[in-house]
Homo-oligomer: A and B are copies of this chain.
């Protein structure tokens, strides 16, 4: 079954609800129950450490966003938010554009926010200064946006990511990334999903991006756990283990307590992708899922 056929089946069963936009779907109550259970599972399997649980809205400060190199690396995935700030006269001009079926964006101005593309991107700008401890650990979860319309239901434009983020020294952040490759594989086994860990790269844009991607792979900074989410192939990344080195520490002026630049690492769980992989592997009737999987999700 190809991914388009799988999407049709999800639509037909009411598990996903089409909106006319590839990658933007409503979710059934059952789908949401699985998403919620997966978030709780991440909390349980990470409980051997203490995490500061923080939740951010799906938006990020434009100024903080401009402080990163996201526009350099992923301009095509960006979601910049624009709004109308004019008076009655300007409003009439806006409505005339809309009525004419024309592009009405010239009547808008940039708002103070952009859409977040990763749950952890909202965190780093709040940590400018010196870390409160040698190592700080955050549990984050929220909606992310990436403009990559696709008929593959596992490639949504708006989706949730649950993240475990560590900031501190090089050894600690490297260990976090390393540790969670195996832990991620264990999570997949407990969900009875096929999985393998592969060296990966972010989808850097354009000619310069190819060099960045090659560098990232060479240093093995990104390890993805892939599974079969919308086809039989193990091609969909569902858990991503990333070492950022001093990338965010430099961008947001975050220091360790001994005065060095803070290093960071994160492991991200794609909640919609994991849910799709479960639905594909175990069927659309959650009550009929293998008892081991149900016990893992709803202990």
Contacts and interface: CB of A to CB of B under 8 A. Distances in A.
A57 interface: yes
B80 A55 contact: no
A250 to B, nearest CB: 17
Q: Which of A84, A85, A87 has the most CB of B within 10 A?
A: A84
A111 interface: yes
Contacts of A24: 57, 59, 61, 112-113
A129 interface: no
B85 A82 contact: no
A88 B207 contact: yes
Interface residues of A, number: 72
A98 interface: yes
A91 B75 contact: yes
Contacts of A27: 54-56
B122 A26 contact: yes
Interface string A17-34: 111110011111101100
A284 interface: no
Question: Oligomeric state, in number of copies?
Answer: 2
A81 B207 CA distance: 26
Interface stretch (A141-149, A212-220, A235-243, A258-266): A141-149
A46 interface: no
A33 to B, nearest CB: 9
Contact of A26 (B56, B75, B76, B147): B56
A157 interface: yes
Interface of A: 17-21, 24-29, 31-32, 52-61, 63-64, 66, 71-72, 75-88, 91, 94-95, 98, 103-105, 108-113, 115, 122-123, 125-126, 139, 143, 145, 147, 149, 156-159, 205-207
